[in-house]
Amino acid sequence: MRCAEVEDRIGALADGELVEAEARDALEHLRSCPTCRAAHERVLALRTALEQHAPPLAAPDRLRAAVRARLEGPGLAARRPVSWRWLAAAAVVVGLIGGTWQVATTWSSGRALADQVLATHVRSLMPGHLTDVASTDQHTVKPWFNGRLDYSPAVTDFAAQGFPLIGGRLDYAGSRPVAALVYGRRQHVINVLLWPTGSGPAGGPAALTRQGYHMLHWVGPQYTYWVVSDLATAELGVFADLLRRAEAGAAPS
């Protein structure tokens, strides 16, 4: 490739929009041409400057509330959040019938846990917080948890199903350190928090939406799972099924 051709492709090269053969040719030209190499470096330097100083922004809470209020209109606003409201009612009924306050307590701690799980997800999206061990290799991520936790969860890469493993992280939820597995789906990030199931009954999954994030929660025979993402619920459900099948030992290979 000559300069004139490469010049046109420098942006596309840096953006990962060239097909492999073209990218290879362009890179080869860069090696021998200081002018084009400098131009390529400028694109990358500019990217770094933008990353540092012009980050993606979080919608202010005020805006989120205003959008919801305007969408739902008067009279409709009170029905959120659906899942937990329903669970609250169910818990109260069960509590009354059973003559115990324990279920209601479980529910309110479940809600507090959902808040904590959501907080870990939001925090993980901040620069540099996503993974402690960044690897797409399940055989690297699983042993990483050894010695850091008192359990070592099975780690499965679902790249073939469109949910590649990104890495793992130590996080904190429910008053204990927990394993966080990070998966990707296009530009979306999925966090999976899991810890060994205690003595409680298996169940779920329950779905809820908070602050625009979707969460799925279930209690499997071995592990208790929380899955959080901004991914649409339907796709998140597909992913959750993969995890559940993997735990059941029927993981697609």
Partner 1 sequence: MEQDLVERFEAVALPHLDAAYTLARYLMRDDATAQDVVQEAYLRALKYFDRFRGGDARAWVLAIVRNTSHTWRKRQSHYGVEFDERVHSESVEEQTPEAALLRAADREMVRRSLDQLPLELREVIVLREIQGLSYKEIAAVAGIPIGTVMSRLSRARGRLEQLLGVAAGRE
Give the residues lining the site for partner 1 (CB under 8 A). Answer: 8, 11-12, 15, 17, 38-39, 42-43, 45-47, 49-60, 62-64, 66-68, 70-72, 76, 79, 82, 187, 209, 212-214, 230-233
CB of 89 to partner 1, least distance (A): 18
Torsion of CA 208, 214, 216, 217, to 10 degrees: -70
Whole-angstrom distance, CA of residue 165 vs CA of residue 185: 9
The pairing of beta strand 133-134 with beta strand 223-229: unpaired
CB of 137 to partner 1, least distance (A): 24
Whole-angstrom distance, CA of residue 209 vs CA of residue 74: 20
CB of 119 to partner 1, least distance (A): 16
CB of 120 to partner 1, least distance (A): 17
Q: For residues 216 and 192, is the Cβ–Cβ distance under 8 A?
A: no
By beta-carbon proximity to partner 1, the closer residue of 63 and 248 is 63
Q: What length does the chain have?
A: 253
In sequence order, the 6+-apart residues with CB closer than 8 A to the CB of 109 are none
CB of 100 to partner 1, least distance (A): 33
Whole-angstrom distance, CA of residue 144 vs CA of residue 162: 24
